[in-house]
Structure 1
Amino acid sequence: MTYTTLFLAVFALSTSAIFVKLADAPATITAFYRMLFAALLLLPFLVASKSNRKELSTLTKKQWGLGLLSGVFLATHYVLWFESLHYTSVASSTVIVTLQPLFAMVGGYFLFKERYRLGALIGCLVAIIGSFVIAWQDFQISGEALYGDILAFIAAGVITAYFFVGQHIRKKLSLVPYTIIGYASSSIFLWIFALTQDVSFVDYPSETWWYFLLLALVSTIFGQTVFNWLLKWLSTTVISMGILGETIGTCLLAYFILGEVISLQQGIGIALILIGLALFLLLQRQNVKIADDKRNQLN
């Protein structure tokens, strides 16, 4: 059930690059309204729940600090990634920003003592190769595109840090309080950053406002928020591996919405990603089951 939910969330997240491309607004403004609208959409769930309100009022300074830190990471990630989409292609930016497993495996090994079977590592490598196969024809040898690719790569590392904070704090904090703290603080940081730029907060066409709302509802509530929920049961590495599937969703959506053709090369890349994900998730699940069985025997 958790893996099914993971892939549904990945598909929802796949809409991000499409909506950002369609929105006629600067990266900072797009990110600001995405976080603000997402926080407002979740606010009724906080207000209506006595347990959520009580939990929020009894947070420790450390929990508040980690929640605010997650907001900083999230704000930074979206500014860097959205900005990268102005310099490089959707495929290239999406592929690079979903290289989170590279950061997640290193961080998971040192921070959470996670161990990976050889087959799972091979599956990760196959999936990453599949991502590069999809985007290979879109990589451009130019300074502008390279700048966009570097921004997307940094964004991948930052969002991985966000998930590591969530993996730690979600063990003791419920979904809605944690998520609202992260989204609300992220929107505040983005608002402050936007004030330093010569950009408007309101002068945008009606279609762009709809894309802001869709980014909040579809990409964030049904995508990012579901990842926050899954962090209680799945590691950052597993979620990051699942997010590699975002490349597939983005290609399919680009075909139907933007009219971009899925080439044979992209089809091969999609197949490699699916094979790699299946291999990684299957073997990693077996690894977790073996570890649980050992713990049960010791108890």
Structure 2
Amino acid sequence: MTLKDSILGFLIIFLWGINFVVIAWGLEGMPPLLMGACRFLLVALIGSLFIKPPKIPWQWLLAYGLTLGFGQFAFLFSAMAFGMPAGLASLVLQSQALFTLLFAALLLKEGITVLQILAMLVSGIGLYLVAGEGSGQGTAMAPLGFILTLAAAMCWALGNIVNRTINKRGYQANLGLVIWSAWIPPIPFLLASYYFEGGEIMQEALLTIELTTLAALFYLAVAATIIGYSLWSYLLGCYPAAQIAPLTLAVPVVGLAAAAYFLGEVVSLQQGLGIVLVMFGLVLSVAGGRLLGGVKSFYLNRVQKNS
């Protein structure tokens, strides 16, 4: 990658890592489901001014909006409202990579390698440790928040399956899909907010909205979504996906560091070990094959030189 594109890659990691701290700030002034509706409405209103509609059948636009949009963020925002720490949320959400492998095997009949199975087992053990209290004085994590974050990761994984299916059918799953599918989530978000959070709470949150909440919403819509995915689409258009995809592995690192600095979150010794195992499993899943291939090539070259 060029120096400019490397800087853009680090900018994406920063925008998406800080995203979880901003969500926590936004939830201080607005209930989670209403915040989800406002976030996607802003994405749709602003993004549609600059991005053309994708040439994709409406049913796939609907499926993408309900999984990656409504499903993922309804569960994620609710999880953080119910006690999931921002830093750990950024890590647990990355289990979407493992759920994607599983759903691809079940729904798309794609094969799973032994290395990928090992990656799922290692990350699964890590998630189990993260969910525990640990032996140190870590930030408290509600079990419901952890379960809801896993549900968010599953919805993200289902959205990835929708994305793959769209590409396999000859359509382009690009930034236009992200922007124009954002018109879909506000409807179920508003209905769910009215049912679960109540009309009075919705009205009060909107009438008494503070500058901090507005700033959080604009960051989530403009910085994390429109700018973040625009840069992501640009890099994917310039480099192989296998080279760009591993960048997301650094998002939890930024998320954990930002949560520690801005929110004072800490992790216990046990949770720290779980974080290491989850990250190791994700690396195995994303780049394990290439790493083993590189080691094999190095070994064969050494054998040939010595023979």
The answer to whether TM tops 0.5 is yes
Q: Is 2:227 the partner of 1:214?
A: no
1:71 to 2:71 alignment: no
Whole-angstrom CA distance in 2 between matches of 1:251 and 1:209: 24
> Is the CA contact 2:62–2:184 (under 8 Å) kept in the aligned structure 1?
yes
User: Where do residues 65-214 of structure 1 align in structure 2 (5 Å cutoff)?
Assistant: 65-73=59-67, 74-90=69-85, 91=87, 93-137=89-133, 145-170=142-167, 171-173=170-172, 175-196=174-195, 197-198=198-199, 199-200=202-203, 201-214=206-219
The whole-number CA distance in structure 1 between the counterparts of 2:221 and 2:134 is 28
Offset at residue 176 of structure 1 (A): 3.2
Partner residue in 1 for 2:20: 17
Give the conservation status (yes or no) of the 8 Å contact 1:116–1:284.
no
* Distance in structure 2 (CA, Å) of the matches to 1:260 and 1:96: 15
Pair 265,10 (structure 1): closer, same or farther in 2 beyond 3 Å: farther
Structure 2: stretches of 5+ with no match in the other structure = 136-140, 294-307
Alpha-carbon contact 2:134-2:270 (below 8 Å) kept: no
Cα contact 2:64–2:163 (8 A) shared by 1: yes
Q: What is the number of residues matched between the two proteins?
A: 270
Shift of 1:120: 3.6
2:283 paired residue among 268, 278, 281: 278
Q: Is the 2:90–2:256 contact (alpha carbons within 8 Å) kept by the matching residues of 1?
A: no
- TM-score w.r.t. the length of structure 2 is 0.70
- CA distance in structure 1 between the aligned counterparts of 2:212 and 2:185, rounded to whole angstroms: 24
Q: What is the root-mean-square deviation in Å for CA atoms of aligned residues?
A: 3.8
Distance 1:40 1:202 in 2: 20
- Distance in 1 between residues matched to 2:289 and 2:270, nearest whole Å: 28
Query: In structure 2, how many angstroms separate the alpha carbons of the residues matched to 1:29 and 1:65?
Result: 25
Give the alignment's TM-score, normalised by structure 1.
0.72
The structure whose Rg is larger is 2
User: 1:45 aligns to what SS in structure 2?
Assistant: coil
**Partner letter of residue 84 of structure 1?**
A
CA distance in 2, matches of 1:259, 1:99: 24
User: CA separation in 1, counterparts of 2:164 and 2:41?
Assistant: 23
Amino acid at match of 2:100: A
CA drift of 1:162 comes to: 1.5
Q: Give the alignment partner of residue 257 of structure 1, picking from 262, 267, 278.
A: 262
- Measure how far apart 1:207 and its partner are: 0.8
Deviations 1:162-198 (A, max 9, x none): 2211222245125233122211222343234445532
